Amino acid sequence: MLWLLTLHIAALLIWSAGLIYLPLLIAGTRNDSLALGCAPANADSIARWLFTRVASPAAAVAIVAGSLVFLVNGTTDLWLMVKLTLVTLLVVAHAFSGLLVIRLEAGKSVVRASYVLLAGVLLLLAAVLWLVLAKPVWGWS
Ligand code: HEM
């Protein structure tokens, strides 16, 4: 079980770093530097490469490993239910950063939306980490 939890935490750290770095990268990427040899051969931009090759696989591993820990542990405490609700919002934020990558490559304005996304991600990550480490006792717990 420990190796599952370790895999869960390792993957969520990479995912969280991706969720924080992508909006910053997208906001900081000037359109004229998009295609100048900085994008990998098989991706239109560094942002797309990081989104598809790092953040998304890490998200998948974090969610699968977390779900397996959930099944093995059988924890049904209210804090975990609230956590999983917030994690669903993190998945929406993840999808939104993918949308911003597409807008960036289309030369559309992304700076304000990137900073709004970053603020939302930081709030969600703080709330999820507080919940999993404090494990507050509420209601039916
Ligand atoms: C669908 C996604 C997820 C599921 C099903 C899930 C499930 C779980 C479960 C069952 C545990 C063990 C809790 C216990 O100690 O009883 C756990 C631990 C943990 N989870 Fe998740 N989790 C998910 C996503 C996340 C995300 C996105 C984060 C952070 C951004 C996160 C952070 C943590 C941390 C830090 C621990 C270790 C807590 C400790 O040391 O006691 N999890 N997760």
> What's the pLDDT tens digit per position in 9-68?
999 999 999 999 999 999 987 655 554 455 555 556 889 999 999 999 999 999 999 999
| Domain range annotation of the chain | 2-134
Residue type, 40: P
Who contacts 13 (Cβ-Cβ below 8 Å, separation ≥6)?
none
pLDDT in tens, 65-74: 999 998 898 8
Neighbouring CB atoms inside 10 A of 33's CB total: 13
54 C-alpha to center of ligand 1: Å?
A: 19
Smallest CA separation from ligand 1 atom 22, residue: 66
8 C-alpha to center of ligand 1: Å?
A: 7
pTM above 0.85, yes or no: yes
Encode 59-97 in three state secondary structure.
Answer: HHHHHHHHHHHHHHHCCCCHHHHHHHHHHHHHHHHHHHH
Rounded CA gap, 67 and 12, in Å?
Answer: 13
Categorize the per-residue pLDDT at 109 as very low, low, confident or very high, splitting at 50, 70 and 90.
Answer: confident
Do residues 74 and 20 lie in contact, with contact meaning Cβ atoms separated by under 8 Å? no
Length of the chain: 141
Nearest to 132 by CA among 85, 79, 59: 79
Per-residue model confidence (pLDDT) at position 141:
54
